[in-house]
Every structure is written in structure tokens, then in C-alpha cells.
Structure 1
Amino acid sequence: MSSVFDEYQSPLSARYASPQMKKLFSPRHRANTWRKLWLWLAEAEKEVGLVRITNEALEAIRSNLEVTDEAFKVIAEEERVRRHDVMSHVFALEKDAPQAAGIIHIGATSCYVTDNADLIFMRDALDMLLPKLAKVIHNLAQFAMKWRDLPTLGYTHYQPAQPITMGRRATQWVQDLMMDLDDIEYVRVSLRFRGAQGTTGTQASFMEVFQGDTAKIDQLNKILCEKAGFDSCYDISTQTYSRKVDLRVCNALASFGATAERAANDIRHMAHDKVLDEPHESTQIGSSAMAFKSNPMRSERICSLGRKLRNLPNDFSGTFAGQWLERTLDDSAIRRIDIPEMFLITDALLIALDNVTNGLVVFPAMVEAQLQQELPFMATENIIMKLVSHGVSRQEAHEQIRVLSGEARYAVRVEGKQNDLIERIEQNEFFKPIWHELRALLDGKLFIGRSPEIVERYAGPGGVVEQKLRAYEDHITSTRTAELAI
């Protein structure tokens, strides 16, 4: 007897995505949505004057909107015989609702159900994702505010650079995610319905149904949009809605995937430097061999999923570019895979990001120790200026600092010692005029510029983030931190 373990399962559904997102793209929900679309079409056609559609027929469809397991067996058998997925569903619905036989799918092409359903699914999926993204942004904004004053070593080229603060670094991630929120909101608001457009988008079949009455066709589509919850239809469709729509949505989600990977990579680098870590359960195993290991596996998962997501636009651009004239069916298989996957991946990323960003652990002592390893070098300009204020030649001070810095660097890199530049300065009579001021010059907060202010203005009370997230406040305040099932 076979079980689910005997057949391939996508890791997205088996391990990563939420039950809600998996249900949205399930075969049953798709089949049920197709039946709703056929009901809406018949209701709208009757409303605008197609008298052959009876109330009895409509009620028969309404009573069979839920596709049963038995109906799925019928669908499978019909598709095996007829090699047409939509017509197999039509035959199954006619079997469940014989009173409606003959009035289902009037004037429509297959894309009436397939494309309109995809647009519904994408809309509903985007509505699920946006609040989750807002929650992640909120988490990081809170983190940034908490650590807005903590100086930490900055890096360019992954080499020590001018200090920043831990909160200021996180605010960069926040701004990138805010851009993603804008982009995803835009594609959500821009989504339209395909409606009833006929086989090549000319509405010719509906001209026949309604005997050339164009006002009835316009009214039909207005009613369909209202029933489906869309403001309007796309102005131009062929047999399908333009596959540019899929590419547009994927581009926004893929851009978020890149942001997620970039932020998670930063977390992984800081975990290596032992200044910050992602959350870990007390029973979590980091390595099957090395029991001492505590690896940033959640951030690594984010990087892996983010990489997959940010590469998906290539599929969608190829599909869009490859549609010949009014349509070709080479879009079908790839869209069946990629449309659900881009949403399941994004959903999985947001679950992991919510979990990680709400449990980031900072190690201030390590932050300070790492900073102090490099800060003496960064303080040399201030030391030179202090000497100049005491009447010392700037060039002579520069030469003395250059020599001692070279000795200290040799001690660190070759001998494996701590940075002892300040101790060398304190032992050199040349610097005696400023000995009493040296330690004060090593306060990390002297080197962080306006970092705390920048964080507060952007991520603090009344700031840019707070204003943007007001639309998602109910979700943010009522939703627990996501837990990773595996």
C-alpha cells in the first residue's frame, strides 16, 4: 500500500510554506474556483438578458460548488479520455448538476476559468503576503531602535571601515524591505480581471450570444468584476490576459527575494564574527558530527530560498516573450509550476524572516571587543589633531603615528597579538602632551556620526516606517511570531 512517502513532494509544501498558502494553490481550491467562475458567468448572462438560463440551472450549480473526491475521479477519467483539463471539469460539473447541462461555459474559452482563476489566486496570495512583510519590517524597525546607539565596526569590501551602529545597519535592511513593500503593493493594486473576452479577445462569441448588443457585453464584464472582487478588466486581452502581468508580479517578489538573501547574508557574516546570532532552540542540533556547532541555519535557508525566488523572473520573461500572436500553449506547464512556487517561496521566506528578525541576539561585549581591535587605527586622525592643538608639527605627528601603526599592525597580523597601538603611544614621550586625553578618544560613539538620529527619524515613533505600516497595524499587533515547522 503506497503512502505520501512513496511519491515526490515539493519541499515548499512539505517543509516551508504556510497551510493557508498551500490551500490557496491546492487542486481542490482551483477546481472550486472554476465552478464559481462558471456560476458567476451564468448568473451575469442571465442578469443581462440570456433567458435560456433558468433559476433551476443556477441553483444546481450553486449546490455543487464544492468539488468532491468522487468528482475528482470523474475529472481524472474525463481528462484521460479527452485530453482537455477544462472540458473534463465541465463534464464533471454537468454530471453533478444535470439541470445546468448545456448552459455552462456559454461564450467562454478555457482561459475564462484558467486565467481568471490565476488572477484571483495571485490577488489573494498578495493579500496574504503583504501583512507578513509588514510584520518583518516592524520587527527590524524595533530591533534597529533598540540598538540604535550601539557602535559596531563598519565594513566596506568586508574590510574594517568607519564604525556604524548595530541599529543603523539594520535600518538599511528595513529601507530595502520598504521598497519591496511599495513594489508588491503596486502590483497588487494594479491587478485587473480578464473577464469574458472570447477566444482571441475580440468578444466575438459574446456578440453572437447577445446579438450584437455591446452594452450587454460591457455590463456582463462589470458584473463579473463585481462578483470576483476586481475593479475592472484589463483593457486589452488576447485569448489570455497578457503574460506581462505574471512577469510584473514575479519581478516584485523576486526583488524581495534578493533583499531577504542580502539581509540574511549580513546576519550570517555577523554570526561568524560572534557579534550577533539568529534565535536557536535549546534542543537544536547544529551539526551531526560537531556537537559544539551552532550554525545560522535559518538564515542559510533564507539565502537558499531567496536565491531561488530572485531567479524566477527568467522563466516568466521567457514565457511572456514566447507567446506568439494571440497565444500559444507553451505557457501552460511552466505557469502551473512557477505561479504557485513564487508565492509559496515568498511565503516561506516571510515565515523564516519573521522568526529570525523577532529573535536576533546581539552580544555587546563581542561588538565592543571587535570594535576596539580596529578603533585605535581609526582614531589616529583625531590623535594627530589633538597634537596639533598642543603646538606639535602635523607632519611630524603623522610620521610618528605611521611608524607606531605599522608596529601595531605587525603585532596583530604576524604575532597574533591584540592591537596595542594605544599602549605604544602611551609609552612614547612624543605623545606626552595628550596622554591624559587618549582613552577618551577611543569612545566608539565619537565615530558613528548621526547613526542614532538616522535610525530614529526612519524607524522610530512617527517616522517613515511607522507611517507606512499603519495600514497593517492590526495584523502586526495581533499576530504571533511565526514558528518554523521544520
Structure 2
Amino acid sequence: MKDTEIFPDVLASRYVSREMQECWSLKNKVLLERDFWLAVMQAQKDLGIEIPDEAIQAYKQVRESVDLASIALREQKLRHDVKARIEEYCELAGHQQIHKGLTSRDLTDNVEQLQILQSLKLVRLKTVAALKKLAQRVDETKSLVLVARTHNVPAQLSSFGRRLAMFGEEILLGLEKLDQFIEAYPLRGLKGAVGTRLDLLQLLDGKSDALEKLDQKIALHLGASRTLFASGQVYPRSLDQQSVQHLQTISSGISSFAKTLRLMAGAGLASEGFQKDQVGSSAMPHKQNARTSERISGLHHVLRGYGSMLSGLSGDQWNEGDVSCSVVRRVALPGAFFSIDGQLEAFLTVLNEMGFNENALQAELEKNLPFVCSTVLLMESVKRGGGREDAHHAIREHSLSINPDSQSGLLPRQELARRLGQDLRIPLDETQISEMLDRPQNWLGNAPEQAQFFVEQALAWTRRFPDSNSLEPEPLL
């Protein structure tokens, strides 16, 4: 027999945690479907439909007998995945009692939504864990002076922790929206072929109250906070789009953090960490690349790609539904969750291993100190009665004329203090200016307080989700 090469899912095999892999594995989906059928059978029996006890017991006994190859052979013959799994399960049990009154989407939509809900909850937990680790880093560095940059150019002073909190707040906003979405997430429930539940109603002899009880029992099994009441054969695919949009919001904060860390690493200011036996380049032995942060940025783009695929399904439903969405959802739903999970695993790893170069931060501060305090000098001039525009012009002229690499023997801040102290447009003398520039820690604005507020906000989530305290990333490839 000719050997068959197996082509792995690169996302799942290289970047994703075992728990997220299992959530979307085909075997797990088959088991979830069998649990769904068992719950429907038991509920139908409780409501008076004749189903022998021994049949339910037989199905339970073979629940875990999952032969994916056998199911695949059936599907090749039938060209229908759900019918293949029905026949496989019934043959194993020796009965034909499952799927009564149901259509394929009663099974697959509810089970897939269950997978989505489980995955969303795992993402929520990992995000909380990441925010706790980020909060620890913020707390450690909330007063460590940093040259903040806009347009990637030195702007004003901030703190290292405040910069981290900036990205953390975006992640927090995404977490809040994700949490609200999870708590209000509606499952399809039992709707039948076109949404009217005709076959189930007929099976229950037209008893609408019994049908409502059946739907409630299944909602309880699925753990749904609510179910849709008027969907067609499929639930609205805009729900899938919303799911991934919430993932993208969280991913955005993580990706911006990673990109900035890469910039800082390139300038020698910070590092994502570099392990004892790690290799940065096969050619250049000295290299210490920010490869995990690059992975985070790359997975953000992958996630956006899956989001684009799913957004194409939103608003594209034909009548009560069709299966043109199937191939997209089979690829994009697990792919989206694999992307965010891989990103979170990498983010957790970086938060564990990252560091900063305090000497390099101090050197950058010294080089840019007078210039990043230009607004401090401007505001003090205004407070002392100087004209804002006159002072602005004066500070601009002298700042731009100073060469940071000058051989004059004076530091840039000393040279700027000397020049501005002699300029009549500035109502400050050289001593006053020097004293201001000698105390950069006084010019952080609210940076430490803002950083501390983020810490408090992040830790509040860990109290709500205590399991996040012990969550650690799996070893990275």
C-alpha cells in the first residue's frame, strides 16, 4: 500500500496550546455531538416520546468509541458528514433512536456554538492571566523614567510602566467587551429544518408546552444563557463575525505591545528575554532577535485574515439558510481561535521573560532630556507671564540649534539652559532652568498614578477569575 503523507495544520501544531487544540479536534466534536444526542434523547423520553432505556444505555456505553477513519469512509460514500456520524453511532449502539425530529443544523450549529463559547471562555481566562503578569511589570516600573515617543521621535517624559499600561488598557477594554459578549451569547437551540420546529412539534403530538420544555432542557445542557427564538436553519453568521471582532480587539493591544517592544529591543532599551541555549541567527552568532514578539505581530495579521473571511458571511444568508458558509467556517473559526491562543501563549511567555536595560534608558534620557522637557519650560514661562508664542519660538530655535553630539564639553541640557537663560523671551534664568532639567522624575505628569490605576483594574479581574493566577504558557517552539 502506498504511504500517505499527512500534512499538519501549522497553526495548531506549532503555536497553539493543547487545551485549545482539543477544543477544536474532530474527535472532541464527535464526542460533543454524541453528548448532544444523548441529552436530546433523554429529554424526549422524559417528555413522553417512546425511547427504550436500554437504547439510551447502549448509546452511552459506546460514546467514546470514536473511529474517525470509519466515519470518513461513510462520508465518502454518503457525501454527508452528519449522516455519516449518525449511522456510525447507531451501528455501534445497535439502535436507531438518535436525531429524531432534528435537522443537521440542530446538531452542528449548537455544537459549534458550544465550541465557540468554550474557546471564548479560555481566551478570557488567558487574557486575565496575561493582564496579571503585565500588571506586575507595570507596578515594578511605574516610576522608571522613559523618553516617550510620538511619530517614533522623542516627545515628552513618561515611565516604562505607563507605556506598558497604555497597551494594557486596550487589552482591558477588549476583555470587558468579550466578557459581556460571553455572558449574553445566544445559542441556536432546537429549530428544525427551516426554524419552525415542525418535526419536533409533530413528534410531541402538537404539544407546544412540551416543545418549550424540550428546548429548555437542551439549553440547560448547552449552558446557554438564552437561545434564539426565530432563527432559520442556521443562526445568524454575524455572531461569528462578532466573536472574532472581540478577539481582534484583544489581539490589537497585544500586537501593539509587541511591536513597541521590538522597537525598544532594536535600540537596546528592553528585551523580550533570551534563554541560555537560544540562537538568534544561523549566520550571526551575536544576534538576539525579538522572535516571539515578531510571532505575536504575525499572528495578529493571521487573525485579521480569518476575521475578513467570517465578515464575508455576515449578511450573506439565503432565505432560511444554506451550507455555502460551511467551508469558510470549518477553516476560519478554529483558525481564529488558534491565532489568538498562539498569540496569548507567546504574550504570556514574553511577560515572564522580558527585561529592560536601565543604563540604556538613562543614556537615552540624558541625550534627549532638555528637548523632551521643552513643554515644561514652555508652561513655566507662561506661568511667569511670558508670551506663549514668543517662548515657543525661543525654545524651538535653541533646541534645534544644539548638536547632541557636540564636543563643547557641555551636556545638551546644560547648553540649552545657558542659551535660554540669556534669551529675553524666556522669563527664567539659567539656574532656574538647570534646576528644572536636573529633576526629570518631576516631569512624568500622572504617569505613575495612571500606571497604578491600570494595576488595580487588572488585578480586579484576577479576583473574579482566580484560576488565572496559576495559568502559565506551554513551552514555545
Question: Taking structure 2 as the reference length, what is the TM-score of the superposition?
Answer: 0.91
SS at match of 2:312: helix
- Distance, in Å, in 2 between the alignment partners of 1:369 and 1:484 is 35
Residue of structure 1 aligned with 2:270, choices 244, 260, 276: 276
Amino acid at match of 2:415: R
> CA 1:24–1:405 in structure 2 vs 1: closer, same or farther (change >3 Å)?
closer
- Distance, in Å, in 1 between the alignment partners of 2:429 and 2:75 is 91
- Distance, in Å, in 1 between the alignment partners of 2:344 and 2:44 is 41
- Distance, in Å, in 2 between the alignment partners of 1:317 and 1:284 is 40
Question: Greater shift after overlay, 397-406 or 329-338?
Answer: 397-406
SS at match of 2:146: strand
SS at match of 1:155: strand
Deviation of 1:423 after TM superposition, in Å, equals 4.3
Deviation of 1:3 after TM superposition, in Å, equals 7.8
Q: Which residue of structure 2 lines up, in the alignment, with residue 466 of structure 1? A: 459
Q: Which residue of structure 1 lines up, in the alignment, with residue 116 of structure 2? A: 122
Deviation of 1:314 after TM superposition, in Å, equals 1.8
- Distance, in Å, in 2 between the alignment partners of 1:403 and 1:239 is 70
Q: Which residue of structure 2 lines up, in the alignment, with residue 445 of structure 1? A: 441
Residue 291, structure 1, aligned to residue 285, structure 2: yes
Q: Which residue of structure 2 lines up, in the alignment, with residue 223 of structure 1? A: 217
Residue 313, structure 1, aligned to residue 307, structure 2: yes
- Distance, in Å, in 1 between the alignment partners of 2:116 and 2:15 is 19
Residue 257, structure 1, aligned to residue 251, structure 2: yes
- Distance, in Å, in 2 between the alignment partners of 1:76 and 1:31 is 12
> CA 1:192–1:440 in structure 2 vs 1: closer, same or farther (change >3 Å)?
closer
Contact 2:171 2:249 in 1 (8 A): no
Residue 39, structure 1, aligned to residue 33, structure 2: no
Deviation of 1:451 after TM superposition, in Å, equals 1.0
Contact 1:376 1:422 in 2 (8 A): yes
- Distance, in Å, in 2 between the alignment partners of 1:321 and 1:394 is 54
> CA 1:328–1:366 in structure 2 vs 1: closer, same or farther (change >3 Å)?
same
Residue 197, structure 1, aligned to residue 188, structure 2: no
Contact 1:134 1:472 in 2 (8 A): yes
Q: Which residue of structure 2 lines up, in the alignment, with residue 78 of structure 1? A: 74
Question: Greater shift after overlay, 367-376 or 188-197?
Answer: 188-197
Residue 243, structure 1, aligned to residue 237, structure 2: yes
> CA 1:157–1:91 in structure 2 vs 1: closer, same or farther (change >3 Å)?
same
Number of aligned residues: 472
Q: Which residue of structure 1 lines up, in the alignment, with residue 13 of structure 2? A: 14
- Distance, in Å, in 1 between the alignment partners of 2:153 and 2:324 is 49
> CA 1:421–1:66 in structure 2 vs 1: closer, same or farther (change >3 Å)?
same
Residue 485, structure 1, aligned to residue 472, structure 2: no
Q: Which residue of structure 2 lines up, in the alignment, with residue 208 of structure 1? A: 202
Amino acid at match of 2:36: L
Structure 2 unaligned segments of length 5 or more: list them: none
Once the two structures are superposed, residues 103-128 of structure 1 have per-residue CA deviations (whole angstroms, 9 ceiling, x without a partner) of: 22110001121111101111111222
SS at match of 2:58: helix
- Distance, in Å, in 2 between the alignment partners of 1:395 and 1:242 is 58
- Distance, in Å, in 2 between the alignment partners of 1:166 and 1:290 is 30
SS at match of 1:365: helix
Question: Taking structure 1 as the reference length, what is the TM-score of the superposition?
Answer: 0.89
Q: Which residue of structure 2 lines up, in the alignment, with residue 58 of structure 1? A: 56
> CA 1:3–1:234 in structure 2 vs 1: closer, same or farther (change >3 Å)?
farther
Residue of structure 2 aligned with 1:376, choices 363, 370, 380: 370
Deviation of 1:313 after TM superposition, in Å, equals 2.2
Deviation of 1:67 after TM superposition, in Å, equals 3.2
- Distance, in Å, in 2 between the alignment partners of 1:393 and 1:193 is 64
SS at match of 1:321: coil
Q: Which residue of structure 1 lines up, in the alignment, with residue 164 of structure 2? A: 170
Residue 365, structure 1, aligned to residue 359, structure 2: yes
Deviation of 1:213 after TM superposition, in Å, equals 0.8
Q: Which residue of structure 1 lines up, in the alignment, with residue 105 of structure 2? A: 111
- Distance, in Å, in 2 between the alignment partners of 1:420 and 1:164 is 21
Deviation of 1:58 after TM superposition, in Å, equals 0.8
Amino acid at match of 1:131: L
Deviation of 1:443 after TM superposition, in Å, equals 2.2
Residue 424, structure 1, aligned to residue 418, structure 2: no
Q: Which residue of structure 2 lines up, in the alignment, with residue 147 of structure 1? A: 141
Once the two structures are superposed, residues 282-301 of structure 1 have per-residue CA deviations (whole angstroms, 9 ceiling, x without a partner) of: 11111111111111000000
Deviation of 1:263 after TM superposition, in Å, equals 1.3
Contact 1:140 1:358 in 2 (8 A): no
Amino acid at match of 2:473: A
> CA 1:289–1:59 in structure 2 vs 1: closer, same or farther (change >3 Å)?
same
Residue 26, structure 1, aligned to residue 19, structure 2: no
- Distance, in Å, in 1 between the alignment partners of 2:285 and 2:159 is 33
> CA 1:398–1:238 in structure 2 vs 1: closer, same or farther (change >3 Å)?
closer
Contact 1:149 1:165 in 2 (8 A): yes
SS at match of 2:353: coil
**Aligned-residue RMSD, C-alpha:** 2.9
- Distance, in Å, in 2 between the alignment partners of 1:427 and 1:334 is 67
SS at match of 2:448: helix
Contact 1:155 1:161 in 2 (8 A): yes
Once the two structures are superposed, residues 167-198 of structure 1 have per-residue CA deviations (whole angstroms, 9 ceiling, x without a partner) of: 11111111111111112112211223322211
SS at match of 2:227: coil
Structure 1 unaligned segments of length 5 or more: list them: none
Contact 1:286 1:293 in 2 (8 A): yes
SS at match of 1:330: coil
Deviation of 1:418 after TM superposition, in Å, equals 9.7
- Distance, in Å, in 2 between the alignment partners of 1:262 and 1:346 is 14
